Amino acid sequence: MMIYVDADACPVKAEVLRVAERHGIAVHMVSNQWMRMPSHALLQIHVVAGGLDKADDWIVEHIGTGDITITADIPLAARCLSKGARVIGHTGKPFDGDSIGMALAMRDLNAHLRDTGEIRSSGASFGSKERSRFLQSLEEAIQALKRGR
């Protein structure tokens, strides 16, 4: 079991590392640019150059069944689910085979509404409630994988 983080805009990197340390799970922080992270034996930082979606492609190339992805990127979530991984959004919302279709449809609808000027915001703010929900979801996913479910 490994955790892959789509790290460029992820607000829960420290939380991922803290939970991974408690369970002894390797973490791969994948981004398009260098980021400051603490030195840790379980942490590997991968800076992927080359353009749009290259970090996503790197994650999909390396992830497998029994791994966990942390991302807010719905298309990346769908690709990781197809490889047998668990996927959790940074707000703590888990994605699965039943919910990913609706998430993709809502993403496309919201993009269209933003393009036409019908909506102007890109989403709700991120706070302590979302951080707490994320920690709970990550812990639940790890426990389920450890139990073989």
What is the predicted pLDDT for the residue at 53? 85
Total domains present in the chain: 1
Q: 3-class secondary structure for 69-112? A: EECCCHHHHHHHHHCCCEEECCCCCEECCCCHHHHHHHHHHHHH
Q: 98-112: per-residue pLDDT in tens?
A: 766 565 556 556 566
- Domain range for residue 136? 2-146
Q: 50-99: per-residue pLDDT in tens?
A: 777 899 999 999 999 999 999 988 889 999 999 999 999 998 989 887 76
pTM score, whole prediction: 0.84
> Cα dihedral sign for 83, 89, 94, 95?
negative
Which CATH number belongs to the domain containing residue 50 in this structure?
A: 3.40.50
